[in-house]
Amino acid sequence: MKLFVIILFFKLLFFSNNKGLKFIIQYQDTTIKSISHFDTSGFLTFFKNTDLYGPVTMLGGQYVNNDGSKKMSIFGHSNIGFTISTYEYDSEGRQTKRHEYLSNRSSEEGFSYIRNIRSLKELKNDINVLQILEYDSAVLREECSYEGPEDNSSCIRYSDEGKVSNVVTAKFDSLGNELFFEVDEFTTKEHFEYHYNSDGLIKTKYRINNLTVTNEYSTYKYYKGKKQKLKEELEVSTIRTCSKFFYKKNETTIKTYSKEKLITTKVLRYNKTGRIVYEKFTWNNTGNYLEYTWEYVYC
């Protein structure tokens, strides 16, 4: 689970042109909820969020190669501690192995103090991180292979004891669109299927458990001749929702309905470069809402 969180954060913070960007800061009112640091080449080096996903602090840092691929990553969670990984790549730059330092270290004071860590340097020099790197051993946690011009991948993941815990398979089309993603844990199997329209935009998505039960089914519609979403329908078990998208200059409003009743409204605003600067999420039945703003600091 921690690995999925790490991957999620680094993907969410990736932007096509970060060169010259130093920090991204997210606020709720005047309180900083998250911050991201970038190096002079525009690669993410450090992030932290506090109380953004419940009463926890999560942070991470990475040392990267010249092409932006990770050499080492450090992930911290205020309830769990630290996960440290190193990476190997093939001649084409594809990740082939991930080693993780095997540590069950605990702290008498817990790990809530990590909310005070402010940079990659401070993270790397944290006493618990230094002890893990010095005294704990790294074990093979993930091993990946690739085939075909589409770089279809198969990754074997290992438990603490070195046994195979699951196999993750992904398949792509010639345009790089993901067609299939599966996690096989042997007793359970869950996979996702994606289908695209003639413009290369996702049309339908399925999440299926054990190849027999459809847990989730999504359909997407777009404005004619545009890549902007018009409607997104989601069916999870017996729950069905429909989201409708409305656009103005530098603003998107998403209204979500259940049984034709408006349940949530999300308003997103962007700056001239397409980066998000404002979000308001409202629960329409109660009127409660969350409101965030973003600041971008350049070198």
pLDDT digits (tens, 9 = 90+) for 64-121: 988 888 999 999 999 989 999 999 999 999 999 999 998 766 666 789 999 999 999 9
How much is the pLDDT for 212? Answer: 66
pLDDT digits (tens, 9 = 90+) for 109-160: 789 999 999 999 999 999 999 999 998 889 999 999 999 888 999 999 999 8
Tokens found for residue 60: 């991470």
pLDDT digits (tens, 9 = 90+) for 163-218: 999 999 999 998 899 999 999 998 888 889 999 998 899 999 999 887 666 789 99
Domain ranges of the chain: 1-144, 148-229, 238-299
- CA-nearest of 163, 165, 192, 190 to 179 is 192
Q: What distance in Å separates the CA atoms of residue 280 and residue 289, rounded to the nearest whole number?
A: 7
pTM of this structure: 0.85
